[in-house]
Copies of this chain bind each other. A is one copy, B any other.
Amino acid sequence: MNKIPVGILGATGMVGQQYIALLEGHPWFEVRYLAASPRSAGKQYSDAVFGRWHATGNAAGFSGFSDAVGKLIVQDANDVAKAEAAHKKGDLAFVFSAVALSKDETAKLECDYAAAGIPVVSNNSAHRSDPDVPMLIPEINAAHTGIIPSQQKNHGWDKGFIVVKPNCSIQSYMIPVYALMKAGYAIDKMFITTMQAVSGAGYPGLSSLDLIDNIIPHLAGEEEKSEKEPLKIFGSIEGGEIVSAKKPVISAHCNRVPVVDGHSACVSLQFATGAGSVGTAKPSLEEIASIWRNFKSLPQELQLPMAPEHPIILRKEADRPQPRLDRNNDKAMAVTVGALRPCNLFDIRFTGLSHNTVRGAAGGGILNAELLKAQGFIN
């Protein structure tokens, strides 16, 4: 099978580098088009990232990029016509967008690519609140891609479209929480405290002075996203748009800690009861453990290459998950949970952890693209 040619917008940045590292040897996709800021345009990729390559590699320990990728000439990401020409020649099927522009510039640029017929699988937040743009965690809301035809119609686009992924801060608890909901236990309220890794802020991101012997509390933008984005992901398509769920109500405290990779989340949650609850009883800790251990969803059924075999890994040790020991579990795409116990105020509490630059960024984007291919949106 010929591999599908993919492009990366923002290829020289940290997330772009992670895409390149993770796509090495991908069975379906092949990196063929790299675009970045005008400053890098025209250079060989290997020259453009010389001294700036920070990706720590894929699961096989690969920490660089292939010669073929290194020899690609970086294009100007603003030159949509160039990408359109490549697309028409069959050299570019779709793009991963990891540009680092302002929100408005990103929103416009991604629309320009979609208007040129090029599907955009984005890591950016610019279109996350658009009601006709699916914000995907494939294990949870793969059905939200059903909004794509409405999106195309709204914009007058023929074949292009935009899908996005949510913020990395929510990935450490969304799948475990969804697994309980899918098992019939509606959730009413959730307290979340995140301890987020520095790679989540990009490169250079935060100063080393702020993250040695220190933590930074109250990451304001992260808290808002952590409270709002889950509701869209748990929402449903109604009348041509994605309508956010009303529950669970979430309160998030977001913190930055001296960890390179791996966002942790302390979660307390309360199940719904009475009217509005799917189930009539609350699950026992044993039942929750069983639900988590056995959870599989569409990406596992479709055997998507980037999908973890077990999306949720439950550790029995009292002091797990830990970022350094658990972030790389199952291609760094699994969510590891532990410390499951009753909560004094709500029903249960636990700690969740996921790799923020893999599951929470480039790996999640690749899984989205794999879903789109399996569903026939990309080919």
Which chain A residues have a beta carbon within 8 Å of chain B's beta carbons? 50-51, 53-54, 56-61, 63, 189, 191, 193, 195, 198-199, 203-218, 220, 227, 249-253, 255, 257-260, 264, 266, 268, 316-325, 328-329, 331-332, 338-339, 341, 343-346, 349, 351
Contact = CB atoms under 8 A, between A and B. Distances in A.
Contacts of A191: 191, 268, 345
B61 A60 contact: yes
Given A56-B324, A209-B203, A268 B255 contact: no
A36 B264 CA distance: 34
Which of the listed residues A193, A220, A255 has the most CB atoms from chain B within 10 Å of its own CB?
A: A193
B205 A207 contact: yes
Given A61-B331, A209-B54, A209-B199, A257 B324 contact: no
Which of the listed residues A195, A253, A323 has the most CB atoms from chain B within 10 Å of its own CB?
A: A253
A338 B218 contact: yes
Given A339-B218, A344-B251, A213 B61 contact: no
26 contacts: A50-B316, A50-B317, A51-B319, A56-B324, A56-B325, A57-B328, A61-B332, A63-B325, A63-B329, A193-B253, A193-B266, A195-B257, A204-B204, A204-B209, A207-B207, A208-B208, A212-B260, A212-B324, A213-B258, A217-B322, A218-B318, A218-B341, A227-B344, A250-B344, A255-B264, A258-B258
Number of copies of this protein chain within its complex: 4
Nearest to A57: B328
A146 B317 CA distance: 44
Contacts of A321: 217
Contacts of A325: 53-54, 56, 63, 214
Contacts of A339: 217-218
Contacts of A220: 318
Given A210-B208, A214-B322, A215-B323, A195 B255 contact: yes
A152 to B, nearest CB: 35
A198 B215 CA distance: 13
